[in-house]
Amino acid sequence: MSDRGQAFTLEAITASLLLIGGLVFALQATAVTPLSASTSSQHIENQQQAAAEGVLTTGLDDGSLRRALLYWNDSANDGSGGFHDAREEGYYVDKTPANAFGRSLNRTFTSRNIVVNVYVYYEEAGREKQQRMVYRGEPSDNAVSASTTVTLYEGARLYAEDGSPATTTITNDTFYAPNATSGGSYNTLRVELIAWRQ
Amino acid sequence: MSGEGQRGQTVLDFAVGVSVFLIVVAFVLTFVPGMVQPFQESTQQETAASDRLADQLAADLLAENVSTPYVLDRGCVAAFFALENSDGDDANDADVYTDNDGEVRSTLFDIKDSNLYGAGDCTFDTSNGVFERLAVGGSDFDVRVSLTADVDDDGDPGLLCLDAGDSSTDEPERGDSIIETDDPYAGSDGCDMSNEHDIAFETANEPPTDSSSVVVARRHVSVAGGFEDGSNAATLVVEVW
């Protein structure tokens, strides 16, 4: 005891390091998700995923998704075309389309502070090209996605802004997707919906 | 003095050493329970159950066809929510819920005579009670299922209800219109479960008002045949507590 000098502080620091080391090890060994407060939650992501699937499936079933794909104004933006009443890029950035599919998106996502991007992929010369329908920005890391496919046939008509069928049929000139097949089908579109909490 | 003189700074050193050690021990002791807490008080069971029930209802039990999930069959939805059918016993006119006692009259219609659905139309067994159909019969959590939509266009989705007719003897039929209601027992907006055979699309047990322990799962669905205003999109809400 009498000749130990500064040993006590050193021992306390060693013991503390051991304790904190044990705590850090325990922290690393447990899942962090329930501890960290964030907008990410597996349950919420599951709900968004299921809602996205529901919107696409019901839209496909009642035809509103097909009508939304054909909701195209071929003379907009000096002839380069765009969705009805969209911004000059040709797609919606600050709202959803004014048709049944858009209202369905609104009710399910926008009204609950979830934002969605809707991309339409089509085939052009054997490659997959993308046309945006709704673009609200870059999705977050916790975004979910769902997709479905819609086949368009030759002779299908575009829809006017008020939702009624227009006289214009879809051709390489009037529609964003070109005629990709020689048969009666026109092109197969894949609709991808990406949803995330803003 | 000579004995103490050889000990250097021991008294000060001892004080510093012990306090550092005690502070760390206290810190660890307070931190560890907080680390384990989210696992102890979690609603993991309810979360998994609500998700499973919503999927099961939207894709199988109420679906018109298993190849088109989220598109619900009109007759099966009505048969699923019908109070008379909730205990799975055709002969028993009472319903299985406790929260609506005193609000519903005792003589309910006989669902087996109605034309809501044909034999084998619905994938659930109507001789099972509601909670057995959902496979939560023996579990220790409670469930409320409801179907909501904004049919009257007031911007606020409300509970849907199959309007069987204004006479107290009108029985619900497949073709009856589906309306939105604020209170299915009040009868002020067409849906009256107290005096008519209307079927509100909810199971009647109420979740506790302390909502922290209620887990909600939602599905976007459509009901075949549509509603009063021609729309057909609804939200299926499953609450588990």
pLDDT digit string, tens, across residues B162-206: 888 777 777 788 888 888 888 888 777 778 887 778 888 888 788
What one-letter code names the amino acid at B226? G
Looking at the structure, tell me whether residues B121 and B22 fall in a common domain: no
Q: Is residue A14 part of a domain?
A: no
Q: Is A25 on the interface with B (CB under 8 A)?
A: no
Alpha-carbon distance of A70 to A136, in angstroms, equals 21
d(CA A82, CA A76): 6
Closest Cβ–Cβ partner in A27, A55, A58 for B35: A27
Same domain, B53 and B29: no
Confidence of residue A130 (pLDDT cuts 50, 70, 90): very high
A5 touches chain B (CB under 8 A): yes
Based on the fold, state whether residues B30 and B116 are members of the same structural domain.
Answer: no
Query: Residue B149's CB: how many other CB atoms inside 10 A?
Result: 23
Å between A89 CA and nearest CA of chain B: 30
- A-B Cβ pairs (cutoff 8 Å, strict): 114
Q: Is residue A128 in a domain?
A: yes
- Top-ranked range on mean pLDDT: pick from A18-32, A123-137, B97-111: A123-137
Residue B105 has pLDDT above 80, yes or no: no
Tokens representing B96?
A: 């299985």
The answer to whether A24 faces chain B, any CB pair under 8 Å, is: no
User: Which pair of structure tokens corresponds to residue A84?
Assistant: 């009805």
**What value does the mean pLDDT take over residues A109-132?**
91
B113 and B32 in a single domain? The answer is no
Domain assignment present for A156:
yes
A61 and chain B in contact, CB less than 8 A? yes
Contact: A7, B221; criterion CB under 8 Å: no
Q: How many CB atoms lie within 10 A of CB B203?
A: 24
Which residue in A45, A107, A108 has the most chain B C-beta atoms within 10 A of its own C-beta, making it the best mutation to test that interface?
Answer: A107
B5 — contact with chain A (CB < 8 Å)? no
Question: Which residues partner with B179 through β-bridges?
Answer: B161
How far apart are the C-alpha atoms of B86 and B184, rounded to whole Å? 17
User: By the CB < 8 Å criterion, does B12 face chain A?
Assistant: no
Q: Is B62 on the interface with A (CB under 8 A)?
A: no
Residues B29 and B52 in one domain: no
pLDDT at A60 over 50: yes
> Looking at CA atoms only, how far is residue A100 from chain B in angstroms?
9
B51 and B20, same domain (yes or no): no
- Check B7 against A7: CB less than 8 A apart: no
Where in the sequence is the domain holding B101, given as residue range(s)?
A: 43-240
Q: What is the mean pLDDT of residues A159-169?
A: 90
Minimum Cα–Cα distance from B40: chain A residue? A34
Instruction: Examine residue A167 and state whether it is found in any structural domain, yes or no.
Output: yes
Band (B38; pLDDT cuts 50, 70, 90): low
CA distance A194 to chain B (A): 15
Tokens found for residue B120: 């084998």
The pair of three-digit structure tokens given for residue B236, joined into one six-digit string: 């299926």
As a whole number, mean pLDDT of residues A64-92 equals: 88
In total, how many domains does chain B have? 2
Is residue B35 located within the same domain as residue B53?
no
Which residues of chain A lie closer than 8 angstroms to B28, CB-CB? 19-20, 22-23
Question: Are B17 and B129 found together in one domain?
Answer: no
Task: Tell me which residue in B18, B24, B70 faces A54 most closely, judged by beta carbons.
Answer: B70
Residues B99 and B133 in one domain: yes
Task: Look at chain A and report how many structural domains it folds into.
Answer: 1
Range of the domain at A172: 42-197
- The dihedral through the CA atoms of B182, B185, B191, B193 has a sign that is positive
Q: Does A26 touch chain B (CB under 8 A)?
A: yes
Residue B28 DSSP SS3: helix
pLDDT at A117: 94
Does one domain contain both B15 and B65?
Answer: no
Query: Chain A closest CA to B108's CA: distance in Å?
Result: 33
Give yes or no: residues B84 and B16 share one domain: no
Q: Residue B1: pLDDT band by 50, 70, 90 thresholds?
A: very low
Q: Does residue B100 share a domain with residue B14?
A: no
pLDDT-derived band at A121, boundaries 50, 70, 90: very high
Q: Which of these, A97, A90, A79, A91, lies nearest to A159 by C-alpha position?
A: A97
